Structure 1
Amino acid sequence: MFAKHSFSRRLLALILFALLGLITPIGVHAIGQEYSLPITNSQSLIPRATSLYQTRRFSEAATAWKQAADAFAASGDKLGQAMALSNLSLTYQQMGEWDLAKDAIASSLTLLKNSPQSTQQKNILAQTLNIQGRLQFTLGQTEQALNTWKTAADTYKQAGDETGAIRITVNQSQALQSLGNYHRAWRKLIDNGKIILSQNDSIVKASVLRNLGDILRVVGEPSEVDRYWISLWKEWQKSLEIDEKLDSLEKSKQILQQSLEIAQKLQNNQEIAENQLSLGNTNRALAATKNNAEQYYQQVKNAKENYEIAIGIGAATSKVQAQLNQLSLLLEAEQRLLQSRERNITREFVSQIQTELRDKIGNWRNIEAEIKQLPASRSSIYARINLAQSLTKAKSNLSIANDQEIAQLLESAVQQAKNIKDARAESYALGTLGSVYEQNQQYSKATDFTSAALNLSQAIKAADISYRWEWQIGRLLKAQGNSTNALDYYAEAFKTLQSLRSDLVASNPEVQFTFRDSVEPIYRQYVDLLLQKTAPEQGEIAQQGLEKARKVIEALQLAELDNFFRDACLTPQEVQIDQVDPTAAVLYPIILENRIEIILSLPGKPLRQYTTAKNIAPKEVEETLKELPKLLASQNSNQDPELLSVMLNYSRQLYDWLIRPGETELKNSGVKTLVFVLDGSLRNIPMAILNDGNQYLIEQYSIALTPGLQLLKPQPLTELRLTALAAGLSAARENFEPLPNVESELRLIQSTLPSQELLNNTFTREAIQTNIEASPFPVVHIATHGNFSSKAEETFILTWNGRVNVKQIDSVLRSGEIGRRQPIELLVLSACETAQGDNKAALGLAGVAVKAGARSTLATLWQVSDKSTPLLIGQFYKELTENKAIAKAEALRRAQVYLLKNSEYQLPYYWSPFVLVGNWQ
């Protein structure tokens, strides 16, 4: 009897692993991927149950597993009975019979906990706990699943099964990702999963790599200060032969390709499909970083091909998810290309996408039918929501689905969520249903559904979705003319957003979400409402509203940088400007739908508000903000009298919008410095260029920029001996043209202040780091190619041995911070430029400024290929060294005016691209 039982247990253990692998939980990722061939026994019910399960004849398989469990019970084999019941639970899960699945797994666990402890009992218990965790995760009980999997991992370790423990790590990582906790998931994977680096290829290894690639896509490389994690991540990259200098998305792609190769080698179609789905998502993310239309379209094509393969070979869940992702990608690509400025290039692309889109969206009922075949689960609910969102986007230009059909899709999602008692999914479905009625101006129904969604999300403390429904109710009230109550809901949405921060850097991958559509508008609309109720005659009430609006604008700056870094890595702090500099005024211009609002903060005075561009078409504002930077950055435009006249007209128009309304107060206040907290496309324009009709703004005031006083706290330049680390590239590298004037620029610095020079092949990332660690240079001057973009992946500076991206700048420039008494006072980047065609490219400059840790950053918005740059830089340092009391902004102003008064360099092209970010004092 003992031998028979022992054989049965070994057999069932293998089958348990096999079934765990065959089941893909309803979601973007597979969980518990382990594929083993069961040992068959013609005398047993087990091979028959296994065969029925593998051929998806689940009802018959359930009967066979029940018979097996009864047979083991009759023979007194509790372990065999427990394993059969666990497999029965898996089968019920495939059938969507959740109550039966719960009963079966509970019975199995009871048997196991009452069985004598042994290595085999622990192995079986760990496997069964894994199945229970899978059940909980599928039903949206993610926290419970995490707890169950923790127990399972501990049990595997007690049994000495490292591979089993790693399998659980993958499950835990996916659960953490579903909660938006990508950094914790990353740490768990690279720490617990490091053993796979030395192992042969396996499905577990492929799964670990796939999850790692997914995390890098969503949040990039976490900004860890702990050396343990930095060292461990370096070990992973070395083992996987990943170039550390690559940006996170390229690393994601390479790691996913390695995972795919393993899956292909093992001929595992489901893991191949999961990898193609993940690669499609990464190629889609790469497409979003491309400003060039052709490059964008190529990445979109790559993503479509990945999704197509997943559709062809994936199991039902993967197939549905790939179809939905492909559909939403096509809709997104159509919108993006229609808005492109490269109309001649994009016309053909748009035509191809629209042809495909009509075909895909025309078959939406086929996708719906496939969703209906999935067992009721959180992911099948999200699939319905995702399809409804795509249909809502498509109906404006494709008469496919009507509103009633979309509403029915969402109503079925609501009912499914109720059936499985998944409050989070139910809240998503109700809120999305509310938004459909909102678009149809059926405000009463929209409010009812949205309120129900909000009540649910608040009951389960799901702040990451509560803010969306608070915002939606605010919009509904505003649309009905109830702006007072609307303000209350906007205030709640803003408060909830502020409490979230780190959770917003990652979106739910199964419900369509973007920062641009789902977060940024809340700030702008809230400011819009606040500033409609701040008439001067309201006195203190108006001041309170203006102060709230100022804080919201600062918070928007912070949120944009969080989104830029995909990491809530910045720590804000309260700052009172008049306590910092009694001679500085701060201007907060914010671009709203139908006007520009400016909040002016003068030392010792109440906040003031100005409304401009009120009766001007939004397209005119957009054209000014788009065309002026292009004209300024073109040397030819500056030298063409006609284009120069157009440029001056734009700069006068901007002066009228931003400065003219408060001109008198500024002059009467006696302020010497204007500090701008710029919004959107305004960041791409140097404020020095604003012209009142007689002179440029730089001739009247020192000028500085800040992404927010809360982020870069201003303070006077400390009295210390200025020494510089001066580095640069004059030679051509990585297809970038040579910069012949860099050598003279560095010589000028050496003649002005003591400096250590790193030129060409001595200018490496490692050399900068070594020198900063060795000596506390107050000034770090880097004259090299650099690019500022609204995408962190495309924001970098070029060294001799490669690019240093914005996230790496942190580790390079802060490397000696622990031992130094003073941070870097001034970082100068004198040959950088903003990405062409990117209306938020200067966000990258703000990112560099806050990430570098320097108190001030002086940089160029476009590259000036002329000897004028060394002249301006030389004059700037001369002003700083000869006048110890001078502020950095004033030193820059004098240097710019020095060029402006020079007939050879008086054109804005030469002197206006230099901007000071951060500490202006």
Structure 2
Amino acid sequence: MNTKNQYLKFLFSVVRRVYINLSKLFSRKYQKLNRNRFIKALFFATLLLCLSFGQVVSAQTPNATSLVKRGVEDYNAGKYRSAVKYWQSAIKEYKKNPSATAVVNENLGRAYQKLGEDKAAIESLSAAIRDYGAAKDIKQVGRMRTELAQVYSNLGQPRKAIALICGKIASQGVDSIECQQESAKQIATQYNDESGKVAALGVLGDAYRLIGNYDRAIKYLNEAKKAAPENYLVLNSLGNAYRNRAQLMDLQANSARQIRLSKKEKELNQKSEKDYNQARTYFQESIKFARQQKEDLAQMRGLLNLIQLASQTNKRKVVDDATFNNTLADALKQNKNLPDSATKVYGAIDLAYLQRNSQGSSPFIGCPNQLALPENQSLSLLQQSVLTSNNLQDNRLQSYANGALGHFWECRQDNQKALTYTQNAIVAADSNLSAKDSLYLWEWQAGRILDKQNKNKEAIESYQRAYETLEDIRQDILTAKRDVQFDFRDVVKPLYRTLAQSRLELLQTGATNNKERLNQLSKVVETIDSLKLAELQNYFGNDCILSALNPKQVDELLEDKENSAAFENTAFLSSIILDGKTGILLQSANQETKFKWIEDPNQEGTDKIVSTEKLEKKIAKFRRGLVRGREQLIYDTTTASELYDWIIRPFIKDGDISPETFKTLVFLQDGFLRSVPMAALYDRQQEKYLVETYAIATTPSLRITTPKSSRSKQKALILGLTKAATIDGKNFKELFAVDREVRAVKKQFPNYTDLIDDNFIPENFRQKLQKTTYPVVHIASHAQFGVIPEDTFIVTGNNKKITISELENSLQNLNSPSDSVELLALTACQTAVGDDRSTLGLAGVALQVGVKSAIASLWSVRDASTSKLVEEFYQNYGKEGMSIAQALQQAQIKMINAKKLPESEDMNIDYDNPVYWAPMIVIGNWL
């Protein structure tokens, strides 16, 4: 893992000289501080400076002076707990002297960080800010805000760090932003504190890097570099920022490739190459200046960053093999000679798990195949890291060191050794919650080891603890670092799926009673629901999607009497794709939760379970058949029938979803199942499509869906594009049927406002929403849902686009919550091919912007059929007592019966083919 930089080390050179001189009075040499934080190099500087000027020492407080001195001595000896006790006693002596308590609190905060007690550190640094304010030492208030900001940033809360340093957070980009008056950066500027300003810029830049705003991070770090051009800390962080931006552009290039934007892909690859090279240069400069200034810890961090850059870009050869080998040799030598420190521990772990060709994933999830070092050398490094962490008595370090060594033995299948070290890691991480961000890793690791020992129940308990810990910290790690440093698919998805699968497989043994079975199923539902919420949160990179999250779990919602009307006659089918097989959970307010694996009724024994691979191929074939349906005079229902028999018929057969009881089915789909419309599944026995029996809707989670029947038809905002357009080098064809579709919508909403073609541009759309409330917003245009949100947009006039972020901002900036859009309709959509994450854009767009319900198309149908379906839907939408799902159902049934309708209905007889009616789905509130 990358260790943290230490910006404040260079801040107060005069203070540091005072510290060195005064240290001799205490008969101790000045020791370099080794915690991986920005702030630790000035550890006692302010304290001893105050002593030298008499701010703390006075004739009236000789005992306090002694307490401070003994605390300094113990801290230098690594006895942090003892130092804390002395300084806590000193504060009591100085309680009427804010100048003194400020300095002691400041250094208490640093000691607590050494002990891994971050909450206490935050309290002490906050107290220091308060005391410095009371003493009118505003310059020091600014410095303490920077120091506190660094603590929050280290804890994975960079937004709090930004608030302390600047007062407000800027959106993506590099537009200037003025920091607020009492922020750390403004205080440093106001008091001409050049060193404090550089420190604030450094912490601010790194915090923006952690939230993924790399452009702004680079802007602030370049400001710091301008003031301190040879500062190795700034250079090191600039290297990290450029590397992260390059990795983001790699992700964007991959997205561009999947949606066939070859020109954009080439441009992004060229930009990422340039940024990688810039990162290499900054790391090399950081190493050079750290070496010149004999800063061994900083030199080690630079070496590690350069090695990791080489590993991550091996195919590009950003760092040639000779440089890689030389740098690795330097790092091994440097790490061996370092004093005991956090950098030494993390450096040993990084080197032990180093791969020449890294995929950027966590080394603790799977077993690395090609370590750069011989196995015995890696083992020696990991063993040394455990000894060093024990010497330092730092819980966080002990957690990572023991966990890393436990993983080494896990990969060598020595389960007993693996479990011993992993349990040590758990104990250390759980001590005062000193390493909660690693606790889930070691609990998960323990679960895997216990699984191998056939201790299934104990394994599930470990997985459950890992899940609960990850749930607590998920928001920070999914919304920060989502692009590069934290891979959702590496950690959250496999952990949640493993926990769910373990519970389900335990149920298969038949060793549980009915009550326990229902309890286990409830926990499975909770786990899978959390997974789907996490996917949305990770995809969009913020927590807006969860702003209206219901605190109740799904089971509680179904039992809640307030929701009885909403859930009446409605069944919920949640799919869950696991290792090798897929299951369906059935829930309703009227009966117990049921679970079934997807099986092939034509097979026997172990072959009966449909493998994940087989199901995915069948689903892909089903979708291809639907999309190409218009090429066939008669639609072939074979695949649709097979999927119906696999997914729906088992519940019909057992009477779980009889049409007499349930009128609506709401699907909560997983992975590749999101990209197909369940409405088109075919019951060959009844010779009916599923939608002919049930109204169909979909939602990512019931906890972010508001099932309420509130309908208003007063006003509609109608937006349409008929012309061809080019966005990011991709051509979008004319939509000839949009004129007819727009006319059909206008007919249903006489009180409308329309923006068509050149009038349909982002500025006009934004202005209309700001001036008037529109319960219905209908958009008839191309919409692309990409692998990443940046490639998710609606095509507008003049070759412009409305991105998902712009759409969100426009709809969320309405005058009041009551002005929220009831229904958002998106027709003529297109989705990216080959990545089920792209369909998160489709499922999440309505929820992301606060819309209650949405209807959208899973693929583009450039035909008059769309306008006919839309017209029929809105006619039904306005009928008393008809739900949104039923309104769409009736429109689809009418098209299915196209050949049976009289000519007066003006229905093309070909519209019975599901290619014309199946792609339209209801998302969110189905009532």
TM-score (normalizing by structure 2): 0.75
Check whether the contact 1:291–1:838 (CA below 8 A) recurs between aligned residues. Answer: no
Q: Secondary structure at the match of 2:774?
A: coil
User: What is the CA–CA distance in structure 1 between the aligned matches of 2:284 and 2:491, rounded to whole Å?
Assistant: 32
Q: Which residue pairs with 1:449 in the alignment? A: 421
Q: Which runs of 5+ in 1 are unaligned?
A: 1-25, 59-64, 220-248, 335-349
Q: 1:301 to 1:841 in 2, by over 3 A?
A: same
In structure 1, give the amino acid aligned to 2:924. G
In structure 1, give the amino acid aligned to 2:858. L
The reply to whether residue 661 of structure 1 matches residue 650 of structure 2 is: yes
Cα deviation, 1:500-528, whole Å, max 9, x if unaligned, reads: 4434436799x975332222222211211
Offset of residue 690 of structure 1 = 3.1
Identify the match of residue 550 of structure 1 among 507, 520, 525.
525
Q: Which residue pairs with 2:614 in the alignment? A: 620
Check whether the contact 2:255–2:786 (CA below 8 A) recurs between aligned residues. Answer: no
1:452-467 equivalence runs, <5 A:
452-462=424-434, 463-467=436-440
Q: Secondary structure at the match of 1:534?
A: helix
The reply to whether residue 260 of structure 1 matches residue 227 of structure 2 is: no
1:108-147 equivalence runs, <5 A:
133=109, 137=113, 140-147=116-123
Check whether the contact 2:479–2:543 (CA below 8 A) recurs between aligned residues. Answer: no
Q: Which residue pairs with 2:827 in the alignment? A: 830
Q: 1:202 to 1:690 in 2, by over 3 A?
A: farther
Q: Which residue pairs with 1:858 in the alignment? A: 855
In structure 1, give the amino acid aligned to 2:279. Y
Q: 1:390 to 1:189 in 2, by over 3 A?
A: same
User: What is the CA–CA distance in structure 2 between the aligned matches of 1:698 and 1:525, rounded to whole Å?
Assistant: 33
Check whether the contact 2:422–2:442 (CA below 8 A) recurs between aligned residues. Answer: yes
Q: Which residue pairs with 1:844 in the alignment? A: 841
Q: Which residue pairs with 2:495 in the alignment? A: 522
1:207-356 equivalence runs, <5 A:
207-219=199-211, 249=212, 251-260=213-222, 263-264=225-226, 266-270=228-232, 271-289=234-252, 290-292=254-256, 294=265, 298=270, 301-302=273-274, 304-314=276-286, 315=290, 317=297, 320-321=300-301, 323-325=303-305, 350=315, 352=316
User: What is the CA–CA distance in structure 1 between the aligned matches of 2:52 and 2:515, rounded to whole Å?
Assistant: 82
Identify the match of residue 920 of structure 1 among 896, 901, 926.
926
In structure 2, give the amino acid aligned to 1:668. S
Q: 1:594 to 1:361 in 2, by over 3 A?
A: farther
Q: Which residue pairs with 1:434 in the alignment? A: 406
Q: 1:706 to 1:605 in 2, by over 3 A?
A: same
User: What is the CA–CA distance in structure 2 between the aligned matches of 1:667 and 1:110, rounded to whole Å?
Assistant: 71
Q: Which moved more, 1:848-857 or 1:735-744?
A: 735-744
1:658-737 equivalence runs, <5 A:
658-664=647-653, 665=655, 668-670=658-660, 671-692=662-683, 696-715=689-708, 717-730=709-722, 732=725, 734-735=727-728, 737=732
Identify the match of residue 168 of structure 1 among 141, 144, 151.
144
Offset of residue 417 of structure 1 = 1.9
In structure 2, give the amino acid aligned to 1:685. V
Q: 1:606 to 1:141 in 2, by over 3 A?
A: closer
Offset of residue 749 of structure 1 = 1.3
Q: Which residue pairs with 1:476 in the alignment? A: 449
Check whether the contact 2:846–2:923 (CA below 8 A) recurs between aligned residues. Answer: yes
Q: Secondary structure at the match of 2:167?
A: helix
User: What is the CA–CA distance in structure 1 between the aligned matches of 2:251 and 2:93, rounded to whole Å?
Assistant: 51
In structure 2, give the amino acid aligned to 1:911. W
User: What is the CA–CA distance in structure 1 between the aligned matches of 2:847 and 2:51, rounded to whole Å?
Assistant: 66
Q: Which residue pairs with 2:558 in the alignment? A: 576
Offset of residue 789 of structure 1 = 3.9
User: What is the CA–CA distance in structure 1 between the aligned matches of 2:622 and 2:835, rounded to whole Å?
Assistant: 13
Q: Which moved more, 1:392-401 or 1:521-530?
A: 392-401
Q: Which residue pairs with 1:7 in the alignment? A: none
In structure 2, give the amino acid aligned to 1:815. N
Q: 1:783 to 1:444 in 2, by over 3 A?
A: same
Q: 1:531 to 1:405 in 2, by over 3 A?
A: same
Q: Which residue pairs with 1:601 in the alignment? A: 587
In structure 2, give the amino acid aligned to 1:917. I
The reply to whether residue 751 of structure 1 matches residue 714 of structure 2 is: no
Q: Which residue pairs with 2:902 in the alignment? A: none
User: What is the CA–CA distance in structure 1 between the aligned matches of 2:480 and 2:390, rounded to whole Å?
Assistant: 23
Q: Which moved more, 1:450-459 or 1:772-781?
A: 772-781
Q: Which residue pairs with 2:293 in the alignment? A: none
Q: Which residue pairs with 2:359 in the alignment? A: none
Cα deviation, 1:355-381, whole Å, max 9, x if unaligned, reads: 968974796454333334444333442
User: What is the CA–CA distance in structure 1 between the aligned matches of 2:837 and 2:55, rounded to whole Å?
Assistant: 67
Cα deviation, 1:695-717, whole Å, max 9, x if unaligned, reads: 543344321111111221323x3
Q: Which moved more, 1:845-854 or 1:323-332?
A: 323-332
Identify the match of residue 870 of structure 1 among 860, 867, 879.
867
Check whether the contact 1:210–1:275 (CA below 8 A) recurs between aligned residues. Answer: no
TM-score (normalizing by structure 1): 0.76
Check whether the contact 2:239–2:283 (CA below 8 A) recurs between aligned residues. Answer: no
Q: Which residue pairs with 2:335 in the alignment? A: 371
User: What is the CA–CA distance in structure 1 between the aligned matches of 2:775 and 2:91, rounded to whole Å?
Assistant: 69
In structure 2, give the amino acid aligned to 1:425. L
Q: 1:744 to 1:400 in 2, by over 3 A?
A: same
User: What is the CA–CA distance in structure 2 between the aligned matches of 1:110 and 1:129, rounded to whole Å?
Assistant: 10
Cα deviation, 1:738-757, whole Å, max 9, x if unaligned, reads: 65444443332111113222
Offset of residue 611 of structure 1 = 1.3
In structure 1, give the amino acid aligned to 2:741. E
In structure 2, give the amino acid aligned to 1:712. T
Offset of residue 497 of structure 1 = 3.4
Q: Secondary structure at the match of 1:307?
A: helix
Q: Which residue pairs with 1:179 in the alignment? A: 155
User: What is the CA–CA distance in structure 2 between the aligned matches of 1:657 and 1:892, rounded to whole Å?
Assistant: 25
Check whether the contact 1:726–1:758 (CA below 8 A) recurs between aligned residues. Answer: yes
1:36-115 equivalence runs, <5 A:
98=78
Q: Secondary structure at the match of 1:588?
A: strand
Offset of residue 676 of structure 1 = 0.7
Percent same amino acid among aligned pairs? Answer: 26
Q: 1:465 to 1:439 in 2, by over 3 A?
A: same
The reply to whether residue 781 of structure 1 matches residue 782 of structure 2 is: no
Identify the match of residue 563 of structure 1 among 528, 535, 538.
538
Q: Which runs of 5+ in 2 are unaligned?
A: 35-42, 169-178, 258-264, 291-295, 356-362, 600-605, 899-907
Cα deviation, 1:262-316, whole Å, max 9, x if unaligned, reads: 5146523422332222232233244335424556755653553243123211135
Q: Which residue pairs with 1:238 in the alignment? A: none
User: What is the CA–CA distance in structure 1 between the aligned matches of 2:145 and 2:317, rounded to whole Å?
Assistant: 40
In structure 1, give the amino acid aligned to 2:219. Q
Q: 1:559 to 1:911 in 2, by over 3 A?
A: same
In structure 2, give the amino acid aligned to 1:470. E
Q: Which moved more, 1:387-396 or 1:661-670?
A: 387-396
Check whether the contact 1:105–1:128 (CA below 8 A) recurs between aligned residues. Answer: no
User: What is the CA–CA distance in structure 2 between the aligned matches of 1:782 and 1:828, rounded to whole Å?
Assistant: 6
Offset of residue 442 of structure 1 = 1.1
Check whether the contact 1:451–1:473 (CA below 8 A) recurs between aligned residues. Answer: yes
Check whether the contact 2:585–2:594 (CA below 8 A) recurs between aligned residues. Answer: yes
In structure 2, give the amino acid aligned to 1:576. L
Check whether the contact 1:505–1:566 (CA below 8 A) recurs between aligned residues. Answer: yes
Q: Secondary structure at the match of 1:441?
A: coil
Check whether the contact 1:277–1:318 (CA below 8 A) recurs between aligned residues. Answer: no
Cα deviation, 1:827-885, whole Å, max 9, x if unaligned, reads: 1122433333322211223332322222211122333344443332222112212x322
Q: Secondary structure at the match of 1:916?
A: strand
Q: Which residue pairs with 2:892 in the alignment? A: 896
In structure 1, give the amino acid aligned to 2:705. L
User: What is the CA–CA distance in structure 1 between the aligned matches of 2:124 and 2:756, rounded to whole Å?
Assistant: 57
The reply to whether residue 31 of structure 1 matches residue 7 of structure 2 is: yes
